[in-house]
Amino acid sequence: MKVIQKKERQHYLEEHSISHLFSFSIEEYLEVHEYQRDEWIIQEGMRPDYLYYVIEGKAKIYLTYQNGKVSLINFINAHDYIGEMELLHEVYYTKGIQASTRTVCFAIPLRPLREQLLEDAKFLRELTKFLSMKATIMAAKYSQSLSFPLENRLADFILQTADGNLYKEKHVTVCDFLGVSYRHLLHVLAQFCEKGYLQKDEKRYRIEKREQLEELAGVLKNG
């Protein structure tokens, strides 16, 4: 991890101002932290000293079970908070957060600011919205994971992460995220190719029948 200082710090503060998220002036307290790919922003089980706000990059939330099984719980993107659970709860089992690209965050030190943050209606209102979205999304994912086979969830995932018509996620990450074995993921991808929905093209997959995938993904929608 690198703490970004001086001119560069100033640059980030101006380019990605978050002062509208607080009713007091927070800029002077903000540190700018930069993490490299695969670096751990928060280590599982360790209480962080900062509340983070992601301004660039992507990260992953991991949880390890006692039997050693590791589960990829969610992705984190720009404009997400990290460490909000630890701000709110005295006792909390901290999950691991790992940068999956170079990631830059504002780090809000809790020691001097905790009480002030917890009194700030503007900040709390935004945080509440963020958390309610998170809760809703997790509830939807939970429900979907129980209700539908991989075929449907993978179709949705491909459509959501495809760059144009090119799907190029890493299999290992995807099977962690969708909670299936590597073998089974390949099996369903092969089925999609066989049915002509996808075409394998070197390392990538090209979407050939978008409507069919949309139909498969469609059943995940509610209402």
Partner DNA sequence: AAAATAATAGGAGATATCTCATATTTTGAA
Partner DNA sequence: TTCAAAATATGAGATATCTCCTATTATTTT
Give me the least distance between CB of 14 and DNA, in Å please. Answer: 32
Q: Min. distance of Cβ 170 from DNA in angstroms?
A: 4
Rounded to whole angstroms, the Cα distance separating 50 from 54 reads: 12
Element (H, E) at 11: helix 6-15
- Who's near 200: CB < 8 A, 6+ residues apart? 193, 206
CA 31 – CA 3 distance, rounded (Å): 7
Nearest Cα residue to 153 out of 144, 162, 140: 144
Q: How far is the CB of 161 from a second copy (least distance, A)?
A: 18
Can you tell me the distance from the alpha carbon of 187 to that of 15, in angstroms, rounded to the nearest whole number? 45
Using the minimum distance from each CB to a second copy, give the nearer residue, 146 or 202: 146
- Within residues 171-190, the interface with DNA by CB under 7 A covers 171-172, 179-184, 186-188, 190
Residue 170 interacts with DNA (CB under 7 A)? yes
C-beta of 74 vs 152, nearer to DNA:
152
Task: Report the DSSP pairing between strands 40-42 and 103-109.
Answer: unpaired
Q: Which stretch binds a second copy (CB under 8 A): 12-20, 82-90, 155-163, 195-203?
A: 82-90
**Residue among 136 and 165 whose Cβ is closer to a second copy:** 136
| Structure-token pair, residue 148 | 């539908």
Decide: 98 and 40 in contact? Cβ < 8 Å.
yes
The nearest distance, CB 111 to DNA, in angstroms, is 33
Least Cβ distance, residue 91 to DNA (angstroms): 31
Binder among 104, 150, 162, 198 for DNA (CB under 7 A):
150
- Site membership for a second copy, residue 142 (CB under 8 A): yes
**Contact between 151 and DNA per CB under 7 A:** yes
Residue 200 contacts DNA per CB under 7 A:
yes
Q: Does 203 bind DNA (CB under 7 A)?
A: yes
Strands, E, within 110-216: which ranges? 166-167, 198-201, 204-207
Contacts of 123-131 with C-beta under 8 Å, sequence gap 24+, read 123/21, 123/22, 123/23, 126/21, 127/81, 127/84, 130/80, 130/81, 130/84, 131/84
Instruction: Compute the least distance from the CB of residue 106 to a second copy, in Å.
Output: 19
Residues found near a second copy in the complex (CB under 8 A): 44-45, 61, 63-67, 69, 71, 73-74, 84-85, 88-89, 92-93, 118-121, 124-125, 127-129, 131-136, 138-143, 145-147, 178-180, 218-223
